[in-house]
Structure 1
Amino acid sequence: MYARLLTAILEHRLQPGTKLAEENLAKVFGVSRTRVRPVLVRLAQERLVELRPRRSPTVARPTQAEAHEVFEARSLIEPRLVQACTTRASDVEIAQLRQCIHDEHAALARGDHATAVRLSGQFHMHIADCARQQTLRDILADLVSRTSLILMLYGSARSRAKPGERSPHSCGTACQCHDRLVDAIALRDAATAQLLMQEHLLDLQSSLVFPVAVAHTDLETVLAGAQ
C-alpha cells in the first residue's frame, strides 16, 4: 500500500489536495481500515499526506514558504553529497547515473513528464547513494519527495504537463544539467560538480511560479466618500 500510494503521488497521479479517505483506500486495497491508517501516518511523517482531525486525509499541499525551505535545505546538503560522490563512485555507479539520465531523456521525449520528474528525483538519490553518507541520504529522500509535490503545484507548465503532452523542447534544462553533473563526477572534478549542483538547484527554484497574492479590499475605505 505504501509503495503504491508513494509512487502515485511522486508520479503526479494523485494531485495535492486529493482526499484519501480510509474507507475508500481500504476498499481499493482490499484490506481493513486498521491496516490503512499506519500507511497514511507514515506518509504524513514524510510530509506527503496531511492528517487533520475530523477530516479526510489529503495529499499534502506545500506552501510557498515550505517550497523555499525545501530548496534551501537541498542547497546545503546536495553540494556536499556530490562532492563525496566524485571521490567514491565506482565506474558501475557512474554508468547507472548515465542510464538514469538516458531514461529521463526518453520520458521527456515521449511527453511523459510525470515519469521524468520521478527519474530526476532518482538521479539525485543515486548521487546520495554513491556518496556513502546514510544520514544525509535519508534527509534528502524526504526533501526529494516533497520537491515532487512542489513541482506539481508551482513548477513551470512543462513540469506540470500530463503524460502524453509534449513540452516545447525534447529535453529540459534539468536533464542537461544532469548530463554535465555526471561528466564532472566521471572526471573526479568535485569543485565543478558542486558548482553545477548549486546552479541546478537554484535554476529549479527560480523556475517556480507562485500565484500572485490578491490584496484585501476594505469596502469601508474604498467606498468612503463615494457619492
Structure 2
Amino acid sequence: MASSSIVTKRGMSDVDKKIYDSVFNAVMNQRLPPGTKLTEAHFCELFKVSRTIVRKALQRLSHAHIVVLKPNHGASIASPTPQETREIFAARRGIEAAIIPLAIKHASNAQIAGLRKMAKAEHAAFESGDRANWISLGGAFHIALAELAGNSVLQRFLSELVSRCSLIIALYQLPGNVACSHDEHDRLIDVIASKDVKRALKMMEQHLLAIEARLNLNDERAKINLAEILGLA
C-alpha cells in the first residue's frame, strides 16, 4: 500500500493531510476495524474543518483503498470479504509469477543491493514497532521487484493489488503473526541474486500463500470511540 507520505505529496494541504494520516495510521495499527462508518459531520467537529476538506481527505483514502465511498451511504473503512481476499491474493500470485523471471533477467548487482537495503529498513520498522511503516515497506519491496521487471503494465497491476493486500493485512492480520516476513524477503533476494528462476517462483508463491494463511477473516466488530482512536480525545 502507498504510505501516507507518498500519497500526500500530490497536492494535499496540511489540514486534509492530518485527517488522512490519522485514519491511515489508525487502520494500519488495527484501531479502526473494517466497516467502521466515517461521517463527514463527525470529522468536521473533530478536526474543526469544513466538509470540503473532509471530503478531499476521504476521497484520497478511497483512492488508496482504505475507505469505501457509496452514494447516499457515506464513507466507511473498507471491509474486504473472504472471497474478495482469496481473489485478490490469487491475482497477485499470478502477477508476481510473471514478474519474477523478468526481474531476475534484468536485476543488476546495484539493484540487488537496493533490495537488501529495503529489506533492512523493513526489519528496522518491525523491530521498532512501527506497524504502519512496516506494512508499507513490505508492499514497497514487492513493487520494487516489479520495477526491476521493466514492464509498466505488470507494475501498474501489482501496485493496485499490493495496495489492496496491504489493507487486508492491516485489517485482518492475526495478533503476533508476521504477515510479510523480512526474513522471507532476505531469502528471496538471495535466490534472485543466484538467478534461480524456478526456485524463486516457488518461494514467491509460498511466501504469498503464507501471508494469506496468517489472516483472520472472522467478522468481529466492536463499538469504537473515533476521537480516542484518532488521538483527538
- Band the TM-score falls in, shorter-chain normalisation: 0.7 to 0.9
The 5 Å alignment of 1:97-176 reads 97-159=115-177, 174-176=181-183
Matched, 1:192 2:210: no
CA distance in 1, matches of 2:152, 2:145: 12
CA distance in 2, matches of 1:55, 1:173: 34
Superposition RMSD in Å: 3.0
For 1:12, the equivalent position in structure 2 comes to 28
User: Deviation at 1:84?
Assistant: 0.8
Larger Rg: 1
Matched, 1:181 2:188: yes
User: Deviation at 1:124?
Assistant: 0.6
2:92 to 46, 61, 74: 74
Matched, 1:95 2:113: yes
Structure 2 CA distance for partners of 1:35 and 1:140, relative to 1, 3 Å: same
Matched, 1:205 2:212: yes
CA distance in 2, matches of 1:54, 1:212: 24
Matched, 1:64 2:77: no
3-state DSSP of counterpart to 1:50: strand
Q: Is the 8 A contact 2:104 2:195 kept in 1?
A: yes
CA distance in 2, matches of 1:30, 1:212: 33
For 2:224, the equivalent position in structure 1 comes to none
Amino acid paired to 1:129: E
TM-score, L = length of structure 1: 0.74
User: Deviation at 1:101?
Assistant: 0.7
Q: Is the 8 A contact 1:118 1:148 kept in 2?
A: yes
Higher mean C-alpha deviation, range 126-135 or range 48-57? 48-57
* Identity of matched residues, %: 36
Segments of structure 1 that go 5 or more residues without pairing to the other structure are 160-170, 214-227
CA distance in 1, matches of 2:85, 2:165: 8
CA distance in 1, matches of 2:44, 2:128: 34
Segments of structure 2 that go 5 or more residues without pairing to the other structure are 9-16, 221-233
What is the CA deviation profile of residues 148-178 of structure 1, one whole-angstrom value per residue up to 9, with x for unaligned ones? 221123212125xxxxxxxxxxx77722210
Paired residues in the alignment total: 202
Q: Is the 8 A contact 2:65 2:167 kept in 1?
A: no
Q: Is the 8 A contact 1:61 1:149 kept in 2?
A: no
Higher mean C-alpha deviation, range 7-16 or range 54-63? 7-16
CA distance in 1, matches of 2:158, 2:67: 18
Q: Is the 8 A contact 2:28 2:171 kept in 1?
A: no
Amino acid paired to 2:102: A
User: Deviation at 1:83?
Assistant: 1.5
TM-score, L = length of structure 2: 0.73
Q: Is the 8 A contact 1:103 1:119 kept in 2?
A: yes
Structure 2 CA distance for partners of 1:192 and 1:210, relative to 1, 3 Å: same
User: Deviation at 1:202?
Assistant: 0.9
Structure 2 CA distance for partners of 1:114 and 1:34, relative to 1, 3 Å: closer
Matched, 1:84 2:102: yes
Amino acid paired to 2:142: H
